[in-house]
Structure formats: structure tokens, C-alpha cells
Amino acid sequence: MFKQFIELQWKSFFRSSSMGKGLILKLLMGFFAIYILAILVLTGGGLYFLLKKIFPEASPMWTLSQYMVYWVLAELFFRYFMQKLPVMDIKPLLLLPIKKSTIAHYILARSGVSAYNLMALFFFIPFGMVLLYQGYAPINVMVWLVSILGVVLSINYINFLVNKSEKALILIGGSIILLLALDYFEIWSVTALFGPIFHGLYAYPFTVFIPLALALLAYVVNFSFLKDRISLDQSLRTKKTEAKASDLTWTKRFGDMAPFLQLDLKLIWRNKRTKTQVFISLLFVFYGLIFYTQEVYAQMYSIYAFLGILMTGIFLTNFGQFIPAWDSAYYNLMMAQNIPLRKYLESKVLLISVSVVVMFLLTIPYAYFGWDVLAINFATALYNLGVNIPVILFFGSFNKKRIDLDKSPFGNMQGTSATQFLIILPILGLPILLFSGLYFLFSLEVAVIALSLLGIAGLALRTKLAHLITQQYHTKKHGMIAGFKEKNG
């Protein structure tokens, strides 16, 4: 029966209307996946020697075991946003003499061989092979790898149990921050507590049954939950949920833009993919720590300009590049109404502008690393406000691919076309090239002033630019509507 399910999924993939249209994109994603797996293999193989160099007095296995608690929590945190239970169209199957338990087992088994689980194995197996080469006990290493498989499967199935709970997300994220703080400020040694626990999976082979039992328990709970909900009546029953109305009356101060702002804010908060963009943007505030704290990047102002554009404009890029595809489900209805398209676009501008300002304010503490850092971030924020926002809205008029907001955000290429790849050139490439050229030809001050003046000029011309962009959207309106109607496109 599993073979027949696989054949059905395979035929569904190759017979879909989007197969031919997105073939090149699928091939690119395939090559990218191979690249990521190759990086994981190389990193896993080199980890032993890296840990030996950083901690020469400790065993690499012991050092790795100390920090594995953070890996488990980080996996749960990111899988919350990225991984969803694999689904299949079960309505036709429910009319056939197929046991519900068979369908449930297939769905859960299919999730067990997901890319997320393979990524972990492609990292740990090369590390285990190096351990064998370095003379570690073969039985212990092999059993340890089986234990890692049990931990990975446990994470996989536990994620499905907590995936719908925002309280679980807060608990996991809070635990990561709390444990890191306790370790960093030397209040309590988290690594000393969890190190022996994870090292025991290697030192004592019989402990392999603990992660395997945990994985089996999580599987059984998921199976019981899933089996009870596989029925034709369940799929036909109207879903009733308690509506949670947010108080967005404060948006009325923006006049005609208020309805569109309310729509955008509700869309962002109620859908996993858009909500993920917000969390990713906030996490990118810490991206600068990777570079500002390293002496090798000191005085490399081109890198600083890149960081400024990216950190202050991360939401601009992630959210803005898919305008108006976020509204693709009802875009044709909106365009059929007597609504001002310009107000619709201005509401997007306002939302993105607020994000740029907020992200800049969050980067102000980087002034600790020098006032030049603050000046560059301020200039790049102005550039994002005045230049990049109109640019990304203009490119948005070429978006014709529908986005299903119910899909998982990770590995989801819905709405992605050549436009999303081309837009990187003017958004990131142009300001960095301009800044670098002026910096090397003249000085840092000239480069900062030039970016700031371009941003101010863009803000001064915003009325004229808004008029031109609105005309572009009117020209492309029917093409976008036709594209958004193609659900498999």
C-alpha cells in the first residue's frame, strides 16, 4: 500500500500544471539542496579537527556533547516555522477500502525521511566516520549515531505536537535565551549539566533505547491524533474557530490607507509565512555581531554598508519583493472594486517604512563599535526609505505567481520568479557599489553623504514616483490577475 501511495504522489508531482513552468526553478533548488548537503558533510567531517584546535585539552566528543542541548532547542525553534506535517489529498482514498491507520502511518513515515532529518544525519555521520578513523570504539560510535537518529526523529515528531501552539514557541525561544544568558554570565553552567547527559549516549551504549523510546512515544501520540482526524465527515465539516479581533482602530488616523493597513497587519500576524518574515527580520538585528566583533573586518566599510542595507532593509526585501502576491487570493476581487490603487500601494510604503525605521533604531547600539558604524547605518536606512522602497514596489508589478499563505515558509518557492533574483541587483548591489566607489575614490564621509542625499531625494520625489508606480500597476493589472488565478503556477 505504501508503494501505491508513493506512486500517486510521484504522478501528482509530474502531472501538475506547474511542473513545466517551474522546472528550471526546481532544478536550481535541487542544485542548492545538493550544495547545502555538501557543506554539511564537509563541516561535519572537519568539526572534529576544529574542536580539537579550539579545545586541545578536551575530547571533541565531550565538547560537542556539552553544546548539543542548544542544537536540540534550536532545531525545535526553527522547525516550528519551517516544517509542517506532510499532507496528501486523502478525500478520494477515504471512499476506498483503505484503513485510516495505513494512511496515518504513511504520512508519519514520509515525514521521517524529510530533508530536515537528512540535514542532521549528513552532518553527524561524517563526524562519526572521523571518530572511527581517530580510533574511537566502533561499537560506541555506531550506537551513538543510532542515538542521534533517535534524537532527530524525536525532534521531528515532537515538532508536530507543538507546532500549533504559540506558547510552545515562546517557551522554546525563551529557554534558548535563558540558557545562553546563564552560560554567558557564568551564573550557572548549562554545558556542565547537559554535557554528561548527551555524552552518555556515546559512553554507555545501552542508553540508545532512551532517544529511540522517546521517538516511538512521539510517533504513537501523533498517530493517535492523526488517525482520529482522518474521516470524510471531518474533511467536510465546517471548521469553527473563535474569532480573535485585534484592536486596530488606531490605524484610522491614516485616513484612506487605514483599511489596507488593517488588512496587511492581520495578514502578517495570522499567517505563518508572513509571521516568519517578522521573526527573521528581528533576528537579523544580531547579524552585525558576526562582523563588528571581528578585527579582520575593522575599517572594511564596504562590508559595513552591506550590513546597513541588509539589517535596516531585511523586512523591506523579504516582504516587499512579494508585493502584491501576498494578496493574490483576493487580488482580483480588490481590483474589481472601486478602490484607489494608489492608496493600496501607499499603505505598503508606510508599513515597510515603519519597519526600516524600527530596524535602524534597533541597530543604534552598534554605535559601541564606532560612530562610523552608526553613520553608515543611518545613511543606508535613508537610502532604503527613499530609493529601495520605490524600486521594490516597481518590481512588484511584475509579480504574477500566486502565494498560498497556508504552506510552510521554508523551502516554499511559491510566488518566486526571475523577478525575485533580479531585484537583488538594484536593492543590494547598486548601493554597495556606489558606496564602495565613492569611499575608495574620495572618503568615507563622501560615501555616507551621497547615500543619504539619494535617500532624501527619493523621499522628496515620493509623490511623483508614487504616481509613476501606480500607472505601472494599472498597466500590469490584468496580467497579475490572470497569473494569480493559476493556483498551481
Buried b / exposed e across 314-345, counting CB within 10 Å, b at 16+?
Answer: bbbbbbbbbbbbbbbbebbeebeeeeebbbbb
| Residues written for the chain | 489
Identify the pLDDT of residue 129. Answer: 95
Given a cut of 50, whether residue 407 has pLDDT beyond it is yes
Q: How many helices (H) and strands (E) does the chain have?
A: 26, 0
Q: Which residue has the cell 500590469?
A: 476
- Provide the grid cell at 148: 542521534
Summarize pLDDT for 279-292 with one digit per residue, the tens: 788 888 888 888 88
* Ramachandran class of 84: left when φ > 0, alpha when ψ lies in -120 to 50, beta otherwise: beta
Residues near 388 by Cβ (< 8 Å), separated by ≥ 6? 309, 313, 316, 426, 427, 431
Given a cut of 80, whether residue 235 has pLDDT beyond it is no
Determine phi and psi for 414, rounding to 5 degrees: -65, 135
Identify the pLDDT of residue 475. Answer: 85
Identify the pLDDT of residue 122. Answer: 93
- Provide the grid cell at 70: 542548544
pLDDT band at 155 (very low <50, low <70, confident <90, very high): very high
Nearest to 274 by CA among 318, 328, 332, 334: 318
Summarize pLDDT for 177-224 with one digit per residue, the tens: 888 888 877 788 888 889 999 999 999 999 999 999 999 999 999 888
Q: Which of 237-241, 434-438, 479-483 has the highest mean pLDDT?
A: 434-438
The least confident of 25-34, 335-344, 349-358, 435-444 is 25-34
User: Using omega within 30 degrees of 0 as the cis cutoff, is the peptide bond preceding 56 cis?
Assistant: no
Given a cut of 60, whether residue 409 has pLDDT beyond it is no
Residues near 290 by Cβ (< 8 Å), separated by ≥ 6? none
Given a cut of 90, whether residue 251 has pLDDT beyond it is no
Whole-number mean pLDDT of the chain? 80
Q: Which sign, positive or negative, has the C-alpha torsion 427, 432, 438, 439?
A: positive
Do the Cβ atoms of 392 and 319 come closer than 8 Å? no
Identify the pLDDT of residue 154. Answer: 92
Dmax (CA) for the chain in angstroms is 77
CA distances, 56 to each of 59, 62, 190, 193, 200 (Å): 8, 12, 21, 21, 21
Identify the pLDDT of residue 160. Answer: 83
Do the Cβ atoms of 301 and 444 come closer than 8 Å? yes
CB neighbour class for 365 (10 Å; exposed up to 12, middle 13-18, buried from 19): exposed
Q: Which sign, positive or negative, has the C-alpha torsion 42, 59, 199, 72?
A: negative
Q: What is the mean pLDDT of residues 423-441?
A: 87
Given a cut of 50, whether residue 236 has pLDDT beyond it is no
Query: What residue type is 469 in one-letter code?
Result: I
Summarize pLDDT for 85-112 with one digit per residue, the tens: 665 556 666 667 778 788 788 788 888 8
Identify the pLDDT of residue 299. Answer: 77
Residue 475 CA to residue 324 CA, distance in Å, equals 14
* Ramachandran class of 411: left when φ > 0, alpha when ψ lies in -120 to 50, beta otherwise: left
Q: Which sign, positive or negative, has the C-alpha torsion 49, 54, 60, 65?
A: negative
Nearest to 328 by CA among 392, 388, 415: 415
Distance of CA 14 to the CA centre of its chain: 27
Nearest to 85 by CA among 101, 109, 118, 119: 109
Quick one: what percent of the chain has pLDDT higher than 90? 22
